[in-house]
């Protein structure tokens, strides 16, 4: 019981910290796009650098480079949003969905043995 109360309190702290960080980045985006881009790239680099091995880091860098290259051609904020949605759904249909189906079939077939 005590650990669930502690988890709930920690969750509220994490949410408050996340909202504060979002507000900071949102303000930075509106007031100084150049500094926002520097901060964004720094945050992305930190996540990539925290990856397990060099192969995974290289894969993540390649993915980020491809994302940045595709987004440069957007032309407007609305187009960036539409492109981001399109990239997400392409990735979902090409990668996630087939993997989910394959896993589901394997689990369903395992129960029939």
Q: Each residue of 4-54: pLDDT tens digit? A: 678 888 999 999 999 999 999 999 999 999 999 999 999 999 999 999 899
Q: What is the number of structural domains in the chain?
A: 1
pLDDT score for 110:
74
Q: Which domain holds residue 104?
A: 76-113
Per-residue pLDDT tens digits for 67-92: 899 888 888 889 999 999 999 999 89
Beta strands in the chain, from DSSP E residues, in sequence order: none
Of 44, 43, 62, give the one whose Cα is nearest residue 54.
62
CB 101 within 8 A of CB 92: no
The pLDDT assigned to 21 comes to: 97
CB 99 within 8 Å of CB 92: no
Please report the pLDDT score of residue 73 as a whole number. Answer: 85
Is residue 100 in some structural domain?
yes
84 inside domain:
yes
Tell me the pLDDT tens digit for each residue of 92-112.
999 899 999 999 998 888 766
Q: Is residue 41 part of a domain?
A: no
Give the per-residue pLDDT at 1: 54
> Is 49 domain-assigned?
no
Q: Judge whether residue 113 has pLDDT over 60.
A: no
Q: Decide if 47 is inside a domain.
A: no
The reply to whether 89 falls in a domain is yes
CA dist 4 and 80 (Å) reads 40
Q: What pLDDT, on a 0 to 100 scale, did the predictor assign at position 75?
A: 86
104 within a domain of the structure (yes/no): yes
Q: What is the distance, to the nearest Å, from the Cα of residue 96 to the centroid of all Cα atoms in its chain?
A: 14
Q: Mapping DSSP to helix (H, G, I), strand (E, B) and coil, where does residue 53 land?
A: coil
Q: In this structure, is residue 18 part of a structural domain? A: no
Distance, in Å, from the CA atom of 22 to the CA atom of 36, rounded to the nearest integer, reads 12
């Amino acid at each position: 019981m005590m650990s669930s109360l502690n988890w709930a309190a920690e969750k509220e702290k994490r949410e408050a910290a996340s909202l504060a960080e979002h507000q900071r980045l949102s303000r930075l985006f509106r007031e100084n796009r150049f500094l926002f881009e520097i901060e964004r790239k720094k945050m992305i680099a930190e996540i990539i650098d925290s990856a397990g091995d060099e192969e995974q880091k290289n894969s993540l860098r390649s993915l980020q480079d491809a994302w940045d290259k595709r987004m440069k051609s957007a032309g407007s904020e609305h187009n960036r949003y539409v492109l981001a949605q399109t990239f997400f759904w392409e990735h979902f249909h090409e990668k996630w969905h087939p993997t989910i189906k394959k896993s589901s079939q394997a689990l369903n077939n395992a129960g029939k043995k």
